[in-house]
Structure 1
């Protein structure tokens, strides 16, 4: 019987906490480590410091099993673990499009100084290609165990709102390794996952580093492509929703993420494509991914165009108008507001003089902290009360299920901008609403047309 390695997870933010909890539930002894003592205290007490469906219940289960603990002590981590996962953040650097690698460097450096026996350090953070080779050199130089400490790269592919499933049964795993021993350690560390038949791609370090940013760049391109088509549709009177459905029948293209709307945000796609383009320029191959600059530009324009639609429905001026903003998180089933298009639109309308009232099922506390100048409601109907325009900015199911007539009863004017193509236009028009959406033609509500 194979002896399971003991695991440490360095960094207990979204990625790290999820990874530590799920690995403990799958039967491993896990120690989560972070320099933020308050985060460690919360997790140790059974509180997940962010919104993720299903994770609080798994944290309780993992803690009760005795297989999961949390600590701020790197020396304890080095003594405890056989495989150390680096899961710290790589945000966009201040004043640059490059990734900020201070947290990764600090985590690896601090851990390395305490590694006195053979161990595998596994990077999961999203980093510019070439980072792993540099970190491998740091480990050899700083670890008392020297060459007995190896580095591998195992990129994460978590989707916020689906992180538990993506950790426990991902659609694929990538192992970037430099030795058979490192590959075997990873296979043992993920044995319960691989036993489900999850495919594994074994690569070198640099390929493994590229997989996540390449995947995110492709996804961002697909999203922005259909939003570019929305711009064309707006200029011609065509319907981008119908166009997207027609394209989706082509199996070479497919319909996933071919949904027009407000565009992408969050802590991954925007900063990852910028960092990828920046790194490509450093390597002298910037022209190869120059299209990513336009992808970013298309995405930003969708926010401005959504504001334009609200202004149009307000007769050309939002000053003094009450706007109900439904949504704050960058996507549903998340409380993440990093680079959130929803809050960007709400804040822009506020700066233009509108009285903006925001409601989101999960992200209210985060939104208030970053945008205290906005007003906040307790539910969607409360936000819409006396509104001149309602604008749907995050496609929560709760908003999809709103009864148009119920909301019409509380607003001042029945005008709505569907920033996510989440609603059925005919239902809203039939209830007397003036419905607008990016890339869709203007249809009078009396027609009740699609």
Structure 2
């Protein structure tokens, strides 16, 4: 074993995970490529689990960051006003919110996705005076206690070590099959006094479930869910930590549904450069915090404000969004061709935009595809409760030739995984 990886094994906690899947010591990254200390080049179809939507070390963001650091710009400021923070808020309002007709107050809850989810749950309970939150099967919202309570993965929930209360899990769209309307099930729980479900403070939803298996809710289902929330006075929270910032083809994943969430959670790629930053968007009438009622030492990450502001410049030109959607169509076509060409893997395409994958009914198949991908110098992750999905998360601005290069590697890995599982037509 490499000496540095041996040190990791000896010193780092056993909780580590990605280093087990990608056993290399990485030293350099640019755009859609990463290099290890041996000079081996890897194609990145992982994008930091959605934290690097613009790829590694974007030139414009890097230069802005270097200029800011060398000019002794403010690094740490809690929630004090700085020029970096004000510039970010101004650009987010003018480039993202105003053109979409959205009116939200911007809250900085802390640097992570779990921080923004925790703040969303807290404001919902504060404003409604209710305690329960409705979440959905296979949802993932974070690893702190509140966020974990609305997460579906049983292994991660057990890690809490205590009962996770005041949440109720409802079936996600098509969880029980397309022939059943899971929202009718939800409505029945609300209407029946004998259901054991109190009127909740909020519903929290990922329109596309990232860690849960790339499950994409239908637009009509999302709209109906908002209608139910409005009817019963339930706050509607969208967790766009992974699916947002262009990952599904529009800046917010819920835009095609035409809905207006009460609260929106953003993190991961909102920082642009992989620097920690989270934002909670709150409808103005709900923004009833007392000063300091929710705070955090690192909620003012000025280095992230600098790169986040520069990242928003991509969105001034509608052609950028159109280019994401075009890449998403190419990905859809490729994955559907894989499902049709290799029926032995019993696969089904899932997801939207550049957040897609194939779910295989063959036990261990998707994990094998990801393992072979790493052997072919490609970073590819799995998702789902049983790692049954291999998912494609390239940078939003990946060159088309690199996207096609990735597709070719994945097809080769599918063939090798079929051979390994003795499922290919050539082995039968």
TM-score between the two structures when normalised by the length of structure 1: 0.32
Q: Which has the higher contact order (CA 8 A, sep 6+)?
A: 2
